[in-house]
Structure 1
Amino acid sequence: MLNVVRTLTAALLVLAGPNADPVRDQQQWVLDALNVERAWSVTKGEGVTVAVVDSAVDGEVKELKGRVTAGPDMTSGAVAREVSPGRHGTAMAGLIAGSGEDDGFTGVAPGARILSLPLVTDEEPTMVTPAPDQGRPSESPLARALRYAANHGAQVVSMSIGSYGPLRSEREAVSYALGKGVVLVAAVGNDGQTDYARKEGTSYWSFPAGYPGVIGVAATDKQGRRATFSSDNLSVLVAAPGVGVPVVKRESGYEVSQGTSSAAALVAGVAALIKSRYPKMRPEQVAQALSSSAKGRPAAGYDDRTGFGVVDAGAALNAAERLTGAKRSVVPGMEHFGEGEDSPVPARPGPDPIRLALYGGGVLVALVAFCGAIIMLNQRKE
Structure 2
Amino acid sequence: MTGRRLFLVVVLLFALSHNASAASFPVIVQISPLASINTIVGALGGSVVDSIPDANIYLLNVPVVPSSSLASLLGIQWLELNTSVSLPNFALPGILTVPGGVPADWYKSQPSWQRIRAGDALPYSTGRGVVVADINSQVDFSHPALVGHLTSGYDFVASKPNGYGVLEQSEMSQLEQSEMSQLEQSEMSQLEQSGAILEPLGLDTLSPAYSHGTLCVGVIAAIAPDSMIMPLRTFDDNGQTDLFMIAKAIRWAVQHGAHVINMSFGAATDSKAIRNSIDYAKNSNVVVVASAGNTNTSAVHYPSGYAGVLSTAATDLLDRKASFSNYGGTIFVDAPG
TM-score interval, normalised by the smaller of the two chains: 0.5 to 0.7
Instruction: Please point out which of 43, 47, 58 is paired with 2:140.
Output: 58
Structure 2 distance, partners of 1:58, 1:17, is: 16
Decide which of 135, 146, 152 is 2:250's aligned counterpart. Answer: 146
Residues 146, 173 of structure 1: 8 Å contact kept: yes
TM superposition shift of 1:209: 0.8
Matches within 5 A, 1:200-349: 202-203=298-299, 205-242=300-337
Tell me how far 1:117 sits from its aligned partner: 0.4
Secondary structure at the counterpart of residue 163 of structure 1: coil
TM-score, normalised via structure 1 length: 0.49
Q: 2:229 aligns with which of 97, 104, 114?
A: 114
The amino acid of 2:223's aligned partner reads: V
State whether residues 84 and 243 of structure 2, in contact with CA within 8 Å, keep that contact through their aligned partners in structure 1. no
Q: Which residue pairs with 2:127 in the alignment?
A: 45
Contact 1:165 1:207 in 2 (8 A): yes
**Equivalent in 194, 202, 218 of residue 94 of structure 1:** 218
Shift of 1:41: 1.2
Cα 1:2–1:139 change in 2 (3 A) is closer
For the residue of structure 2 that corresponds to 1:53, the secondary structure is strand
Match of 2:284 among 180, 184, 189: 180
Match of 2:271 in 1: 167
Aligned to 1:69: 151
Q: What is the deviation of 1:176?
A: 0.7
Cα distance in 2 for residues equivalent to 1:89 and 1:145: 15
Matched with 2:293 is 189
2:132 counterpart SS class: strand
Contact 2:243 2:271 in 1 (8 A): no
Separation of aligned partners in 2, 1:139 and 1:209: 14
Contact 2:152 2:161 (8 Å CA) reproduced: no
- Whether the 8 Å contact between 1:188 and 1:217 is mirrored in structure 2 is yes
Paired with 1:45 and 1:9, the residues of 2 have a C-alpha distance of: 29
CA change 1:233–1:174 in 2 (3 A) is same
Pair 1:8-2:88 in alignment: yes
The match for 1:157 among 255, 261, 267 is 261
Q: Distance in 2 between matches of 1:162 and 1:139?
A: 10
Q: How many residues are aligned here?
A: 209
After superposition, give the CA deviation of every residue in 1:89-148 in whole Å (9 maximum; x if it has no partner): 111111101xxxxxxxxx00111111010011353569xxxxxxxxxxx97111111111
Residues of 1 paired with 2:108 and 2:126: CA distance?
Answer: 20
Decide which structure has greater helix share.
Answer: 1
Aligned to 2:331, the other structure's residue is in SS state: coil
Cα distance between partner residues in 2 of 1:122 and 1:209: 24
In structure 1, C-alpha distance between the alignment counterparts of 2:107 and 2:243, rounded to whole Å: 44
Q: Taking structure 1 as reference, are residues 27 and 123 closer, same or farther at Cα in structure 2, changes over 3 Å only? A: farther
CA gap 1:81/1:49 in 2 versus in 1, 3 angstroms = closer
Alpha-carbon separation, structure 2, partners of 1:221 and 1:189: 15
- Greater Rg over alpha carbons, structure: 1
CA apart distance, 1:35: 2.1
Change (3 A) 1:11 1:69: farther
Gaps of 5+ in 1: 98-106, 127-137, 243-382
Three-state SS of the structure 1 residue aligned to 2:124 is coil
- What residue ranges of structure 2 are gaps of 5+ in the alignment? 1-80, 168-209
- Partners of 2:251 and 2:266 lie apart in 1 by 18
Which residue of structure 2 lines up, in the alignment, with residue 325 of structure 1?
none
Residues 3 and 165 of structure 1 are in contact (CA less than 8 Å); yes or no, is this contact kept in structure 2?
no
1:205-225 CA-to-partner distances (Å, cap 9, x unmatched) read: 322111111111111000000
SS of aligned partner of 1:50:
strand
Q: CA deviation at 1:24?
A: 2.3
In the alignment, the residues of structure 2 paired with residue 145 and residue 89 of structure 1 have an alpha-carbon distance, to the nearest angstrom, of 15
- Asked if 2 retains the 8 angstrom alpha-carbon contact of 1:221 and 1:241, the reply is yes
**Residues 6-62 of structure 1, C-alpha deviation per residue, up to 9 Å, x if partnerless?**
2235245312787xx987267432222222122211121111111010012222212
Q: Name the structure with the higher strand share.
A: 2
Question: 1 CA distance for matches of 2:215 and 2:90?
Answer: 13
Give the aligned CA root-mean-square deviation in angstroms. Answer: 2.9
Compared CA separation, residues 164 and 122, structure 1 to 2 (3 A): farther
Structure 2: how far apart are the matches of 1:36 and 1:26?
8
